[in-house]
Structure 1
């Protein structure tokens, strides 16, 4: 696998193409616009999706990434509904982390109606841990890498946030990236009804992002959960005074 460029600032994992865009598309767009390097790694090609094809989904994923300003997109090709948590799957994720050397990693929240999202959360958590172990070997003999912070984003649900990022200024960019997945969110003739192309799904996403935004006094926000306490040196800062 060619994983260049190395030294990514923000690496977001999803079980399927469109997971990251739904839950953290605004965060990626905002950081990319500020000059940070962002990347997406999808574990599967979502080949069991009710609508669309793998080839079409690849094109949609590429388009969505371009809209968000993603520097690198990777698909590991694990089986859809086959995220077993095997040592081989974890090792391949470890290899991605060590090659891209992200400062921050995003993964789905560990509670979700879709089992693949839950499995992805678990796999990434284990891989982030293993990536820092000096004696853990990978096929490419990549050097160990310690991720600064792991955060979890929401896909289908809502929950208590540890961090809410103001994405008001890039919100329409997020929606444009989500809608790049036409086969998933825009029901075409001959396709079947799914939760994603239901008329209420995108309204739910927008309403949820508005709710999180409201909590921080903004129009839109995306929520993150930290599995570990977040370090703060001070509650007040003299910067700007």
Structure 2
């Protein structure tokens, strides 16, 4: 099965929070989208492996994903090892996406940085014919583009996706991860979260900010390293 886009996320819920609206728009337009979670999120303060797996399954169904996989790397200890890079490169060769979306390399969470690095390394390696032949699987395939999404830090994006039409769906999507949105008890004040306990509120604030920059209500920013070629200068906006 060939996919149009694959999102690489450090933990279950990272893809949905950062680019859930973009995923929904792609799927609603007939594109086939998959997510590869790098870890199970087992080191998180809230939730456990089983709960987060069930939440990811519910979110995947709501999005209409064509595929969701997990690299099973240790949460909190993600490293772009040669084995991890080649495992992800094999997924790119198998599903042959046109576009990869991954964490930006300038982030505050070490797992996000490592997952972004892992995605970029695998993106490059997936196009090496001899490595593909050595693996014995599908032939080499390097996705045309790799875009990065922002989690904790804001910068100047290459472009912003208008997600206003699917915003309510995105909120329902992220709400599938109830374990991450609700306090576990009286001692859980959300202080483990960098910028406040209300995940949905922070998500909306960020989307409103980037939406305002392109003249819409809600937007999701994406970064691209270097210029993006356009056939028609009238296409954007």
TM-score surpassing 0.5? Answer: yes
**Normalising by structure 2, what TM-score?**
0.92
Distance in 2, matches of 1:52 and 1:201, equals 15
* CA-to-aligned-CA distance 1:149-205 (integer Å, 9 cap, x gap): 110011122111101000000011111111111111122436733318944432221
C-alpha root-mean-square deviation of aligned residues, in Å? 1.7
Distance in 2, matches of 1:59 and 1:197, equals 26
Moved more, 53-62 or 140-149: 140-149
2:39 corresponds in structure 1 to: 44
2:131 corresponds in structure 1 to: 136
Stretches of structure 1 that go unaligned for 5 or more consecutive residues are 1-5
Q: State how many pairs are aligned.
A: 232
Q: Which of residues 225, 233, 236 is equivalent to 1:235? A: 233
2:145 corresponds in structure 1 to: 149
Distance in 1, matches of 2:177 and 2:42, equals 14
Moved more, 65-74 or 10-19: 65-74
**Normalising by structure 1, what TM-score?**
0.91
1:222 corresponds in structure 2 to: 220
1:90-129 equivalences under 5 Å are 90-129=85-124
1:1-241 equivalences under 5 Å are 6-137=1-132, 139-189=135-185, 192=188, 193=190, 194-195=192-193, 198-236=196-234
* CA-to-aligned-CA distance 1:3-32 (integer Å, 9 cap, x gap): xxx210111000111110111000000111
Distance in 1, matches of 2:187 and 2:64, equals 30
Distance in 1, matches of 2:72 and 2:187, equals 24
Stretches of structure 2 that go unaligned for 5 or more consecutive residues are none
* CA-to-aligned-CA distance 1:180-238 (integer Å, 9 cap, x gap): 1111112243673331894443222101101111111111010000013100133236x
- Kindly report structure 1 stretches of 4+ aligned residues shifted beyond 6 Å: none
